[in-house]
Amino acid sequence: MDEFDIEVLVVGAGAAGLAAAAALGHHGIPTLLVEQRLEPSTLPRATVISTRSMELLRGWGLEDEVLAGGVDADVWLWECPTLTRVDEGRAHAVGYPTREQATVVSPSAPGTVPQDWLEAVLYRHVGSLRAARLEPGTQLVDIDLAPDRVRATLRDRTGGQRIVRARYLVAADGAHSPVRHLLGVEMHERDGAYAGVQVVFRAPLWHLLGSHRYGLYVVTDPAAPGLFLPAGRGDRWAYGPAVPSDAEQPPDLDPTWLAEAIREGAGVAELDLRIEHIGPFRSPGGLADRFRVGRAFLAGDAAHRVTPRGGTGMNTALQGGYDIGWKLAWVLQGWAGPELLDSYEAERRVVAEHNVARSTDADGSRRPVVDELGVDLGGRIAHAWVPTASGRVSTLDLLGPGWTLFTGPCREAWDAAGAPSRAPLAVRALDAVTARAIGVRGDGALLARPDGVPVAVWASAAGASELRRAMAPPAIAAAPDRAVA
């Protein structure tokens, strides 16, 4: 069989695999992304993009393109008898800030955007990166792990096979991950699985809702209780009839019955609708025993399964893919030692554990914003607007691919310290008020990773002599609240 070498092989072109390939590609790391399907999924499996996920997309220049495929709505739950009786309802927090609330903490707001649109945007973006290569219709069928290499056997759509020798492997091939099985890693299902049916349909419903524009609508009329979710432009919706959480049998899948249930829930007996897809599902929660085997890493649903409750599954996957992507890039560029890769599971498992637990709670969809926003933002630096000659930008926009050192107006001592790291260092001098907003006072400084996580904060310029130690590999994954006097 033919054999060729690549730096990183990514298996699976869902949210996690695409994010990993994008992060690697932006660093110029030669990456091969293979996907068993010939085309991206056309189903809106998820419909919410979190604040932090939107920030990552903004960093890749994709925020506007992604939002173009969604609807202008707050990611809150509106509960009402039927959609025609929307004025009788009330809003419930589901852990995501409103657009107005988001302006306080981020340059971005959560998006009501279907997963198939998001993945199509990412798919095109990865395909445009010179360092990345996309191969649809290709599956991994065997792995041989060596101390210095991963040897993977790939099969293309014609049945032909070839060998890829990669420095590292990212397995993002879904909940039933064949790669996870080949690696011998177990996934343990939790109690609290969520089962139901998703109906994707088109119907003119927005005129019924008026100014009540939300990401989820729960209708409570006993005749047809269920859930309506905006699923993209053009009056595209997803609907799920209410079923008991412990139901063993799938709900009725008869299209005629489901169409009538939608009309009952909408409160419009003659509603003109077109059903495009009916799909029963059973979604358990679970965590893989480990996220790493040697040079192979699990990401997305291959590492953690999250039910639809709370809308965190796609976002956990995307953020995890980004995390392993930039960390692999740093190691492969010689900016950090391989010990940095140990921080992937250490930092991402705690987030996955929280979201799996939430998703298996029967009340997991309803959470105060204050309880969940910190989990989503992940301890990154504070957002503050910075005036520039070309307009204002966020402090998050100033993060570079390497280290970023934020100072106040007095930056001389920090400039004199130089860049004692293999990774590039960008010094960003802020005005005194903005510096104070992100925790920098006087002539002190804050050192951040490319994901915005602070590694060290100094109260004065005397800390400039410690810059080298702060950028040493053990400190890269230090706790965000680490401070140096």
The tens digit of pLDDT for each residue in 324-345 reads 999 999 999 999 999 999 999 9
Q: Residue 352: which H helix or E strand, with range?
A: helix 342-359
Which residues are bridge partners to 143 per DSSP?
Answer: 152
pLDDT of residue 480: 38
pLDDT of residue 417: 83
Question: CATH fold of 385-476, please?
Answer: Glutaredoxin (3.40.30)
pLDDT bin (cut points 50, 70, 90) of residue 248 is: low
Look up the pTM and report it. 0.95
Stretch among 44-48, 172-176, 313-317, 461-465 having the lowest mean pLDDT? 461-465
Choice between 444 and 415, residue whose per-residue pLDDT is larger: 444
Mean confidence (pLDDT) of the chain: 94
User: If you average pLDDT over residues 90-100, what whole number do you get?
Assistant: 97
Question: Where do we find the tokens 């960003």?
Answer: 428
Locate CATH 3.30.9.10 in the chain: 71-110+194-283
pLDDT of residue 469: 84
pLDDT bin (cut points 50, 70, 90) of residue 234 is: confident
Q: Is the pLDDT of residue 22 over 80?
A: yes
Dihedral, CA of residue 73, residue 125, residue 22 and residue 455, to nearest 10 = -50
For 300, the token pair is 């997305």
HSE value, Cβ hemisphere, 13 Å, CA-based, for 283: 26
> 3.20.20.70, 3.40.50.2300, 3.40.50.300, 3.30.9.10: which CATH number matches 71-110+194-283?
3.30.9.10
pLDDT bin (cut points 50, 70, 90) of residue 485 is: very low
Q: Are 49 and 118 in contact (CB under 8 A)?
A: yes
pLDDT bin (cut points 50, 70, 90) of residue 481 is: very low
Q: How far apart are CA 45 and CA 313, in angstroms?
A: 10
pLDDT bin (cut points 50, 70, 90) of residue 416 is: confident
228: three-class secondary structure by DSSP: strand
User: If you average pLDDT over residues 61-89, what whole number do you get?
Assistant: 98
pLDDT of residue 253: 86
Domain spanning 2-43+115-188+285-377, CATH architecture: 3-Layer(bba) Sandwich (3.50)
Stretch among 199-213, 317-331, 454-468 having the lowest mean pLDDT? 454-468
217: three-class secondary structure by DSSP: strand
Dihedral, CA of residue 225, residue 231, residue 234 and residue 236, to nearest 10 = -40
Q: Residue 141: which H helix or E strand, with range?
A: strand 139-146
Do you know the residue count of the chain?
A: 485
Q: Is the pLDDT of residue 59 over 80?
A: yes
Q: Is the pLDDT of residue 478 over 50?
A: no
pLDDT of residue 327: 98
For 321, the token pair is 């893919």
Query: Whose CA is closest to 106, among 54, 48, 68, 49?
Result: 54
Q: Is the pLDDT of residue 477 over 80?
A: no
pLDDT of residue 121: 98
Locate CATH 3.50.50.60 in the chain: 2-43+115-188+285-377
Locate CATH 3.40.30.120 in the chain: 385-476
Choice between 1 and 233, residue whose per-residue pLDDT is larger: 233
Backbone angles phi, psi at 263, to 5 degrees: -65, -40
User: If you average pLDDT over residues 97-109, what whole number do you get?
Assistant: 97
Q: How far apart are CA 352 and CA 347, in angstroms?
A: 9
pLDDT of residue 420: 64
pLDDT bin (cut points 50, 70, 90) of residue 144 is: very high
Question: Among positive and negative, which fits the CA dihedral 261, 264, 270, 276?
Answer: negative
The type of residue at 383 is H
Cα dist from 411 to 165, 276, 442, 471, whole Å:
46, 59, 10, 18
Contacts of 158 (CB under 8 A, 6+ apart): none
pLDDT bin (cut points 50, 70, 90) of residue 392 is: very high
Query: Where does residue 483 fall: left (phi above 0), alpha (psi -120 to 50 degrees), or beta otherwise?
Result: beta
C-alpha distance across the termini of the chain, in Å? 59
Cα dist from 283 to 50, 308, 360, whole Å:
20, 7, 10
User: If you average pLDDT over residues 361-365, what whole number do you get?
Assistant: 95
pLDDT of residue 20: 98
User: If you average pLDDT over residues 238-260, what whole number do you get?
Assistant: 78
Q: How far apart are CA 47 and CA 45, in angstroms?
A: 7
